[in-house]
Structure formats: C-alpha cells, structure tokens
Amino acid sequence: MERKDQFIAIRKKYDSLKEKYDDLIVSAFSADDFRKYNEILFAAHSCAIEGNSFSVDDTRELREKGYAINLVNKTLLEAFEIMDHFNAYDYILKNQGSDFNESFVRTVHKILTKNTLPYKGHKPGEYAKTQMAAGDTVFRDTKKAIANMPKLLASFDDAIKDKKTHPLELSAIFHQMFIYSHPFPDGNGRLGRLLSNFILEKFKHPHIIILKEDRQEYIEALKASEKYNNMLAIVNFFYNTSIKRMQKEIGQKKNLSKNFNLGFEDGNKRKKGFTGPKR
C-alpha cells in the first residue's frame, strides 16, 4: 500500500508541476522557439547516450550552421546522426495526426538513420535479420518481436485514443517494451525516445529528455522493468526525469525574473538618490 501511495504522490507532483511549467515556461516561448529549444537538447543528449561526442553547444552550432560547421575532434558521421535526429524529430511533430502503426514507425526510423545506417551495411527502415543484443543484454527473440510489432503498436494506438492511461506512464511503458523488442539493426534507443515523445506531444505534455549523465540509471531502470516484468522502475524513472527537468527550468525562470526585478529596483533607488553633478 505504501508503494501505491508513493506512486500516486509522484503522479500528483508531476501533474502539479506541469501546470506551473506550462504557465511559466511553455507560454514564455513562441511555439517555434520552444520547438528549437527542445530539439537541440533532445538531439544532443539522445545521441550522446549512444556515444555521440557532440555537446549541447556543438549541437546548437550544427543546428545554426549546418554542415558548414567547423568539425574539431568530431566525425562527419556524428554530424549526420545529429542532423538526421533533427529531421526525425521534425517529422514526428508535423505528423501528430498519424496513427501509431508500423508504417509510421518504419518511416521515422528511415529518416533517423538515413545518413548513418548504410555505412553499417543496413537499409534504413528495414527490420533486423539477426538476433539483437547490446553490451551484456540480449533482447527478446528478434523474429518474434518483429512479428508482434503490428499488434504491439496497435495496442498503444488504442491506448492513446482511449486516453485512460496517464500520458507519461503510457510513454514510459511503450518505451520499455519497444527497447526490449529492439526490432531494428541500429537506432532503437534514439527511435524509442522519439516515439515516446510522439506520445507525449499528442497529449501536450513536456517531452522527456534523458540526460547523458543519467545514462546508467536509465539503463538500470529498463533492465529492472524487464527482469521483474514490472513497469514501475521505468515509469518512476520517467516521472523523476521529467520532474527534475521542470523544476530546474522553473527555478531558472524564477531566478531570472527575480534578478531582473532586483536590478530594476536597484536602478530606481539610484535614480531617486541622484541629485545631479556637484559643482
């Protein structure tokens, strides 16, 4: 019962913060500026989790300059990976009316890996032909997972339309199931995070941005949910990650406003005390 109470508490905390976040952060940006802000953070960290060496500043520069960027200690393949991520993110935002199905997922994968997967001998948008594994993890039977993909996606499409499951929980549960299905030869992590944000965007919830610094905690949450056949670990990770982000950005906004107001007040005081130059 205690665990259930904790879960209800974290959900309430998230929902309360989301209201403040929408009011203080989202409404302060134009829609285009807020998209660019998310796009850069998301691409930098999502690709970094998979080993890309571009920092947030590097990613911002790439976004602004394109391939005219001066690559220092970076590879062109890394730049391609970031640019493809931009394009895939743009696609999911522009196609919010799309059904959540196999055709949509394969199209996003094709865009996401367009300029990188051919170097690895695979075709973007096509499923893996061998059993998938990464590090010390062997994923679910790849052939069975691929065969089950239409059914899996249809069940989540139904859940999106039913609107009975909390959006962040739906996003997290899908993410774990997709990652352990691992249907593509490469790009499953980046694709899974994009698709989780596709779900969140449908409900106008803040996008989940998993920081590269939290990579190990993220992996452990995925493993725990799979090992114990219980989604609590990944759902809690998603809640905590989103809450931390919202708290940080709300705090930054409040500090900016406070500093601005203090500066303005100090300026008024100086003006009031100013009597003109002495003669």
pLDDT at 119 over 80: yes
The per-residue pLDDT for range 203-248, each reduced to its tens digit, is 999 999 999 999 999 999 999 999 999 999 999 999 999 999 999 9
> What residues does each domain of the chain span?
24-243
Question: What torsion do the CA atoms of 57, 237, 49, 114 make, to the nearest 10 degrees?
Answer: -90
**Contacts by 151-158 with C-beta closer than 8 Å and gap 24+?**
152/177, 152/178, 152/181, 153/100, 153/101, 153/102, 153/105, 154/101, 156/100, 156/199, 157/99, 157/100, 157/101
pLDDT at 1 over 70: no
For the residues 248-258, what does the mean pLDDT come to? 79
Q: Which amino acid is at 21?
A: Y
What is the pLDDT confidence band of residue 266, given thresholds at 50, 70 and 90?
Answer: very low
Whether CATH 3.40.440.10 fits 24-243: no
Taken as a whole, the chain contains a residue count of: 279
The per-residue pLDDT for range 128-163, each reduced to its tens digit, is 999 999 988 999 999 999 999 999 999 999 999 999
The per-residue pLDDT for range 26-76, each reduced to its tens digit, is 999 899 999 999 999 999 999 999 999 999 999 999 999 988 888 888 999
